[in-house]
Structure 1
């Protein structure tokens, strides 16, 4: 077993689920986003726990992620947010529900649904309300209504969109504009349909900041994993992942000597360095090097020296009482991944989803 370990606390996951649920009206539904290997943790274990908690829906980015969940015994409905036409047959085979975001994708799925003589297969229609990434626009509404009403093969289970900056108070007016745009788009299409689809637009930050955008169901990713994108919410949520390692070796570096590749760190005075068996192949990329980020050893911060290597990094332990074999905390519930990421100018999402698969996963139940 690799000594670098990502410990996943499923009790913290349950706490986060109930906290987010408490922010909704009594009949509010939750869609758990478990894409990208469950935000770097383990999508299968996360999904199993959430299914035990009676989660309403799952969302993944791609069809193969949904297939993995189905093969692991997940029976809860699964929305595929960004499916590709070449995977539509597999999508149907595994009872996955596609998000349809363009005429090309819509027609491709409808063609296969007709060929297989499906009846009211659930699909989810995505609108672009301002993120300008994926989605239909206002000019497409009549086209969508005609095709949905004329088809017995598919049915619009939901209409949805995605917010661009719901965590940013400075962009509040923009977010409210997105919410109003989605209301207008979804109302316009819904009036033309013979049934009423669910609506959803909220991500984690909107769950916490914009109750007017909760609609019929909300989507949460980072919140389930313990981060609310604001200090006041981070106090309420519990990070589910702790990344730890050990000290492999300690070196005495004389003034003038260098540490690591390209001699990126040169000691100005005598330094004591510790080598840790985790590197950019494990998700701690080179952006964290050169003292931008620090690990924690025996309760004290040890800045990263020089460039991060593929399998190792070196830290400054000159002022720390430590020995080879001692535990090293990269992040945990106290030393949060969000703080580690921010020290190098990135976000918790990137750090968490970068954690490599050779890092051992251990689960607290």
Structure 2
């Protein structure tokens, strides 16, 4: 996995930075509030297994994943902490919930019926957390569906253990918090409804990364930090922009240097043409590695601590940059595509702005084929 001789393109994952971010998050929440670290999408491209092992060592309480296969991978690699599957699932995935001893989000009556049936057949109990749709409009029970009839049905699912209820905030990363406050009020009313029907739920949660930063009274019993664990802010509209440490660096090396004469076109379509003779460097990475093609002719990399602009279109497996204004460049020099080099840095937020997306997508799209080196 860490053999760079096979290909000079890799991710460096700074576990010390992850540790610092985790401790910062703990300092922002009440002492008795638990933390469920979100490690879906391979820990946002950082490597779920290694990240989960580090966070387990640090004392995290839960993990959150998107699907049973992600939870199963963690179990197979020795992760013992409770794991909550956040997404809705299909019947063919039910057996993995039992196999890996996962907690499943139940977002529909059909899922409750299906899970109860397979658990009964296996003579076991499945832990579930009920997902409530307070305004996301994605999955979950609408508050209006939580009728006396619903609670009667819930009591009859003898092979299910209700482990908690939760919801997801749709706009907590915006400066205007009105909609988010409404979601909290709806969620609190749902909790009251459960109590009135004699369901004492001891794990209620709604806070994502944005709420952890900007809305301290959203903590409830547990918080779910995701993007902030990895040193990235949920959006530029966050008020409490705490000093987080970026965990990931994306690096490669120069494989060729050449000087192109004036009026030379570069890469597919000839979208860049040299005006004078120009020295360029070829890098062995491209969009197959998750490097956004939209950075063509607008992005840059770091070489010797200086920004080298991308020339022409990014190819599937190669990218060309100008090194005309950078002294003492040679084949084999380290190149930073995302992260820090000397006194300069390129952030996921910068790349997201250049490609009209979000920093989440920048890191999540990095290819799993890239070597990962854990520092």
Question: Which TM-score band (shorter chain)?
Answer: over 0.9
CA distance in 2: counterparts of 1:185 and 1:123, whole angstroms: 17
**In the alignment, is residue 103 of structure 1 matched against residue 105 of structure 2?**
no
**In the alignment, is residue 238 of structure 1 matched against residue 253 of structure 2?**
no
Equivalenced residues, count:
361
Residue of structure 2 aligned with 1:125, choices 119, 122, 130? 130
**In the alignment, is residue 70 of structure 1 matched against residue 81 of structure 2?**
no
**In the alignment, is residue 320 of structure 1 matched against residue 326 of structure 2?**
yes
Does the CA-based 8 Å contact 1:207-1:214 persist in structure 2? Answer: yes
* Correspondences of 1:1-150 after superposition (within 5 Å): 1=4, 2-82=7-87, 83-119=89-125, 121-142=126-147, 143-150=149-156
Does the CA-based 8 Å contact 1:148-1:156 persist in structure 2? Answer: no
- Corresponding residue of 1:193: 198
Q: Return the offset for 1:357.
A: 1.9
1:30 alignment partner, SS class: strand
Q: Return the offset for 1:194.
A: 3.4
Deviations along 1:194-224, one digit per CA (max 9) or x if unpaired, are 3224111111111011112111000011111
Q: Return the offset for 1:190.
A: 3.3
Does the CA-based 8 Å contact 2:167-2:206 persist in structure 1? Answer: yes
Gaps of 5+ in 2: none
Q: Return the offset for 1:234.
A: 5.5
CA distance in 1: counterparts of 2:123 and 2:337, whole angstroms: 53
Residue of structure 2 aligned with 1:177, choices 182, 196, 213? 182
Residue of structure 1 aligned with 2:166, choices 160, 166, 171? 160
> What is the root-mean-square deviation in Å for CA atoms of aligned residues?
1.6
Does the CA-based 8 Å contact 1:32-1:59 persist in structure 2? Answer: yes
- Corresponding residue of 1:339: 350
Does the CA-based 8 Å contact 2:211-2:218 persist in structure 1? Answer: yes
Deviations along 1:302-341, one digit per CA (max 9) or x if unpaired, are 1211111111111122211122211111112543222222
Q: Provide closer, same or farther for how the CA distance between residues 73 and 191 of structure 1 changes in structure 2, counting only shifts above 3 A.
A: same
**In the alignment, is residue 273 of structure 1 matched against residue 280 of structure 2?**
yes
Residue of structure 1 aligned with 2:264, choices 238, 242, 257? 257
The more displaced of 81-90 and 49-58 is: 81-90
Residue of structure 2 aligned with 1:358, choices 348, 351, 369? 369
Does the CA-based 8 Å contact 1:149-1:193 persist in structure 2? Answer: no
CA distance in 1: counterparts of 2:336 and 2:244, whole angstroms: 20
2:146 alignment partner, SS class: helix
The more displaced of 343-352 and 73-82 is: 343-352
CA distance in 2: counterparts of 1:266 and 1:109, whole angstroms: 61
Q: Return the offset for 1:233.
A: 5.5
| Superposition TM-score, scaled by structure 2 size | 0.92
Q: Provide closer, same or farther for how the CA distance between residues 314 and 235 of structure 1 changes in structure 2, counting only shifts above 3 A.
A: farther
1:220 alignment partner, SS class: coil
CA distance in 1: counterparts of 2:54 and 2:33, whole angstroms: 19
1:74 alignment partner, SS class: coil
Does the CA-based 8 Å contact 1:33-1:221 persist in structure 2? Answer: yes
1:332 alignment partner, SS class: strand
2:259 alignment partner, SS class: strand
